[in-house]
Amino acid sequence: MTNTTTTVTPIKISSKRSAEDRAFRGLARGAGLGTFVILFLIGLFLLIEAIPAFRSQGLRFFTNTGWQTTGPHPTFGVLSALTGSIIISIIGLAVAIPVSLATALFINEYAPAKVLGFVPVKNFLTAAVDLMAAVPSIIYGMWGFFVLQPHTTGLEQWLSTYLGFIPVFKSSTGLYTSSFLICGIIVGIMCMPIITSLCREVFSLTPNGEREGAMSLGASRARVIRDVVFPFAKGGVIGSIMLGLGRALGEAIAVAIIISLAFPINFHILQAGGNSIAALIALNWGSGGSLGTSALLAAGLVLFAITLIINMVASRIVNASMADRR
Amino acid sequence: MTMSDSMANTETVATDRKVASSASAGTAPSLRIDGVSAAQLESVGIHAWFGERLVLENVDLVMERTKVTALIGPSGCGKSTFLRILNRMHEIVPSASLAGRVELDGDDIYDPNQRAATVRRHIGMVFQRPNPFPAMSIRDNVLAGLRFNKIRSSHKDEIVEEALVKAGLWSEVKDRQGALGGALSGGQQQRLCIARALAVKPAVLLMDEPCSALDPGSTLRIEQTIQEIAEEVTVVIVTHNMQQALRVSDKTAFFLAQDGNPGYIVEAGPTKEIFESPKDPRTADYVNGRFG
Ligand SMILES: Nc1ncnc2c1ncn2[C@@H]1O[C@H](COP(=O)(O)OP(=O)(O)OP(=O)(O)O)[C@@H](O)[C@H]1O
Ligand SMILES: [Mg+2]
């Protein structure tokens, strides 16, 4: 063996960059850095503004359910709003995930490119889904309030009559409007276009070779979807769901229109009355004095932190599920 | 292998095949293949279009059972298109259409009551670019066809070993069958794809330039494989390598498409004749490397 201690070190490769390259690089780097800076500044702003609220309530801010920010003994906390946000998001995703996946699969795998020789079904559907994403949330909120809500009370009554033995479906008030369920459905409809169009995109990236490989072994279309498309798209699907979840947690206006704000923690999704962080902020903004504003910003900080964490977890999951492809 | 061993094997296979065809029976007349051995494939008057463009014209070819048929010809003359027509892969291209018949032991594979998936399960295919399922283990890759066709078997280990041995990959992977299919070298991946195709006991195996992405060693290995499997499966292979056609095939068909005209078969016959005493001067030019 030769003496391995004779030092051969890798050379350092460097080369001159053109002025154009340097400028572009700087620009891109600046923009990338800018994103971080803005995110950081938002967090910092919320934190600073929230200090009076945290001073006033301490850790009870996370366990209190009421929202009394004025008077000699203000007591308020984010717990009921937080559970409300989570309940609405869960319902929303329960609505959005199956519908979105099915729609994305239909557009990608089954929809004919053309019907009758000239109706481009596939493109129409794709455009319709994208258009759904462009509808402002206040429109969905109003539609939910004026159309969906009055037409679903029958369903809700039925659910609570026959499934009322399951606690979530119990309704002690006998009122079925302004409930978590309606909010959840509306939020679900709002998440649908994001999840659908991202899923459609990843489904369409499935390598053709693998598809044909499966088909040449006698796999039916459903098999190809299950054993080739889904495993390939897993990471992207999870990512799209997480993005949808972000939207669901943060949705304010549509929820604010429908829900009637109530502060006791409520797990009965059919019953009138509920809460959510974003709706709480939207409905109480400008009232409750300076402590009230600080309290709302503290609630905002909680929402901000949760969405950040969800996104970080999501990117972990996406990376992990992509790992076996590299 | 003793006589009783091979009988036992045959039996396993025969039962598996029965399960498969009864599962797909329903309305479709299941293909009348005897299950264990190869079948003859015959194309009659095949025409193919992409959109309005005719790319194959009137192709008649008999691919005899347990023989290796080579398809040769210049790039773009329609060899792949023809091959994909033979197992109904052509129709998955949206603009594609065709005319003519393809018969597997006399049964029309384009019969309206025949399911494309069933046809493909009996007429396997190996592609130019290796396409194992990257997120499945080596073992699962080999068993994928059984899974896709809902064939249950209590002899999975034997099936995996048999297929990998036939594809010439067994010794290299027998101790790491759990490794991912995507973690193999290109040549190993291609042999895995061959094993995967053989595991469902096809009557015919179609191979589209299976060695074009491989090193000489792997190529040799696959050529050996082809000759071994040809004892029990009809093989149709597209190749640009004249030596390869000469080495592995019994019969050769020379395709040609001139000046934007659709492709057709100039000449087909025993490989020896095509290479040594072709009737058409264009065949002689092509096999001797004077054009294409
Ligand atoms: N998906 C497609 N859409 C439209 N035209 C196609 C398609 N696939 C092939 N063609 C056309 O059909 C003709 C035959 O192509 P094919 O792939 O069968 O040729 P080939 O003989 O296999 O060529 P090569 O040796 O290069 O693989 C070519 O003119 C090609 O342009
Ligand atoms: Mg080709």
Report the 3 state secondary structure along A15-78.
Answer: CCCCHHHHHHHHHHHHHHHHHHHHHHHHHHHHHHHHHHHHHHHHHHHHCCCCEECCCCCCEECC
pLDDT surpassing 90 at residue B79: yes
Q: Which chain B residue's Cα is nearest to A111?
A: B94
| CA dist B280 → A132, B58, B59 (Å) | 63, 18, 17
The domain in which residue A203 lies consists of 81-325
Cα B137 from chain centre: 23
Q: C-alpha dihedral over A297, A57, A273, A283, to 10 degrees? A: -30
Nearest to A276 by CA among A90, A74, A57: A90
Centre of ligand 2 to C-alpha B75, Å, is 7
Nearest to A237 by CA among A132, A93, A123: A93
CB B268 within 8 A of CB B60: no
d(CA A232, CA B290): 45
Number of other residues whose CB lies within 10 A of the CB of residue B215? 12
The label of the residue with tokens 């006998």 reads: A174
What's the pLDDT at B7?
39
The total number of residues shown for chain B amounts to 292
Cα angle A95-A124-A89, degrees, rounded to a multiple of 5: 15
Inside any domain, residue A36: no
d(CA B11, CA A318): 46
Query: Which ipTM did the prediction report?
Result: 0.84
Centre of ligand 1 to C-alpha B115, Å, is 25
**Residues of B contacting chain A (CB within 8 angstroms):** 87, 89, 92, 94, 117-118, 120-122, 124-125, 127, 129, 131-135, 144-145, 147-149, 180, 182, 193, 196-197, 200
pLDDT, tens digit, 9 for 90 and up, residues B226-264: 998 998 899 999 999 999 999 999 999 999 998 889 999
The total number of residues shown for chain A amounts to 326
Q: Nearest by CB to A213, which of B121, B131, B182?
A: B131
Contact of A117 with chain B, judged by CB distance below 8 Å, is answered with no
pLDDT, tens digit, 9 for 90 and up, residues B27-71: 444 454 445 568 899 999 999 999 999 999 999 999 999 999 999
Percent of chain A with pLDDT over 90: 61
B68 sits in which H/E element: strand B68-72
Cα angle B35-B81-B55, degrees, rounded to a multiple of 5: 140
For chain B, state the CA radius of gyration: 19
d(CA A147, CA B136): 48
Q: Nearest by CB to B92, which of A213, A215, A232?
A: A215
Question: Confidence band (pLDDT; 50, 70, 90) for B89?
Answer: very high
- Ligand that lies nearest to the alpha carbon of residue B208, given by its number in the listed order: 2
Inside any domain, residue A39: no
Q: Which chain B residue's Cα is nearest to A228?
A: B133
pLDDT, tens digit, 9 for 90 and up, residues A148-158: 999 988 888 88
pLDDT surpassing 70 at residue A226: yes
Q: Show the tokens assigned to A88.
A: 């609405």
The CATH number of whichever domain residue A168 belongs to comes to 1.10.3720.10
pLDDT, tens digit, 9 for 90 and up, residues B103-120: 999 999 999 999 999 999
Inside any domain, residue A308: yes
- Ligand that lies nearest to the alpha carbon of residue B255, given by its number in the listed order: 1
Q: A203 to chain B, minimum CA–CA distance in Å?
A: 16
Contact of A325 with chain B, judged by CB distance below 8 Å, is answered with yes
Q: Which amino acid is at A305?
A: A
Interface test with B, best of A110, A122, A217 (most B CBs within 10 A): A217
What's the pLDDT at A268?
86
Number of other residues whose CB lies within 10 A of the CB of residue B180? 18
d(CA B73, CA B81): 13
Name the average pLDDT for chain B.
Answer: 86
Q: Which chain B residue's Cα is nearest to A233?
A: B135
Chain B positions in Cβ-Cβ contact with residue A325 (cut-off 8 Å) = 134-135, 182
Backbone angles phi and psi of B112, in degrees to 5: -55, -25
Inside any domain, residue A64: no
d(CA A86, CA A67): 18
Q: Which chain B residue's Cα is nearest to A221?
A: B117
Residues 172-231 of A with CB under 8 A from B: 207, 209-210, 212-220, 223, 227-228, 231
- Report which protein residue has its CA nearest ligand 1's atom 24: B75
Q: Are strands B251-256 and B264-270 parallel, antiparallel or unpaired?
A: antiparallel
The verdict on the CB of residue B49 being under 6 Å from ligand 1 is no
Inside any domain, residue A202: yes
Chain A positions in Cβ-Cβ contact with residue B148 (cut-off 8 Å) = 214, 217-220, 223, 227
SS3 state of residue B272:
helix
Beta bridge partners of B208: B238
User: Given an 8 Å threshold on Cβ–Cβ distance, is B94 in contact with A113?
Assistant: yes
Inside any domain, residue A12: no
Least confident span in A1-5, A271-275, B44-48, B283-287: A1-5
Q: B274 to chain A, minimum CA–CA distance in Å?
A: 30
Least confident span in A18-22, A297-301, B214-218: B214-218
SS3 state of residue B8:
helix
Residues 36-95 of A with CB under 8 A from B: none
d(CA B232, CA B241): 24
Q: C-alpha dihedral over B150, B156, B158, B163, to 10 degrees? A: 50
What's the pLDDT at B53?
94
CB A312 within 8 A of CB A306: no
> Which domains are assigned to chain B?
3-287 (3.40.50.300)
Determine the average pLDDT of the residues in A241-267. 89
Number of domains within chain A: 1
- Ligand that lies nearest to the alpha carbon of residue B292, given by its number in the listed order: 1
Centre of ligand 2 to C-alpha B79, Å, is 6
